Amino acid sequence: MITVIAGSLLLSILHALIPNHWLPILAIGRKENWSLSRVTRVTLLAGLAHAASTVLIGMILAFVGSTLANAIENFTNYVAPTLLILLGIFYIYQHSRHHHFHLHGHPEQASHGQIVFSLAAAMFFSPCFEIEPYFLMAGTSGFTFALAIAVLYTVVTVTGMVAWVRLTYSSLLRLNWHALEHNAGIITGGILIATGILSVFIR
């Protein structure tokens, strides 16, 4: 399952880089004159909320994958990789319509607690569905492997979000993140397709 680990790692890194994961938090923090340490704490909280819902869905899919692997002999070898390829094609096709966490503003009179709660809630209710097929694949190899994918995703994504917020805190306005965000669907689709193809040949 080396391909599943590699694919999960690549997608986790990609989603840590995608601006709509952390840029709204940073923008609000700058507007509210939050210190770097406060922005970091809020990003950490929002990132953990985001990862929690993603992992929750993922573990359910891992259970489904385990059940299907036991019921269908060829699921692990052919069906699961085919699903990855089809989902990859879907994400490439839909990349221009990619809906993820976007926050364009907030009430001017909102308190700090309300803002933080809103950010965490928004992130919790916008899980990364792109990573979910890897939980499905991991489930065919057992709960421990699925749990490892969950830990990998959480650590890489949350760490990446926090790192980018800290790195861009002072230079936010000079950066243009549109190209990465717009092409995220294509990159995600390519990773899914490559993982599906390699999974057929590499066990």
Percent of the chain as helix, strand, coil, to the nearest 5: 80, 0, 20
CA distance 58 to 16: 18
Higher pLDDT, 52 or 101: 52
For the cut 60, the answer to whether the pLDDT of residue 148 exceeds it is yes
Considering the chain, what percentage of its residues have pLDDT values greater than 90?
A: 26
pLDDT digits (tens, 9 = 90+) for 76-127: 667 777 877 887 787 777 765 554 444 444 444 567 788 888 888 888 988 8
DSSP state letter for 126: S
pLDDT in tens, 10-35: 989 987 887 777 878 887 887 788 89
Stronger pLDDT, 177 or 188, i.e. the higher one: 188
170 vs 32, higher pLDDT: 32
DSSP 34-76: --HHHHHHHHHHHHHHHHHHHHHHHHHHHHHHHHHHHH-TTII
Give the orientation angle of helix 2-17 with respect to helix 19-31, to 10 degrees.
30
What are the structural domain ranges in the chain? Answer: 2-201
Residue 176: φ, ψ to 5°: -120, 110
Instruction: With CA atoms as reference, report the closest residue to 199 among 91, 89, 83.
Output: 83
Instruction: Please tell me the pTM assigned to this model.
Output: 0.76
Share of the chain above pLDDT 70, in %: 78
Enter the DSSP assignment of 19: H
Biggest distance spanned by C-alpha atoms of the chain: 58
Residue 2 or residue 155, greater confidence: 155
Average pLDDT, the chain: 80
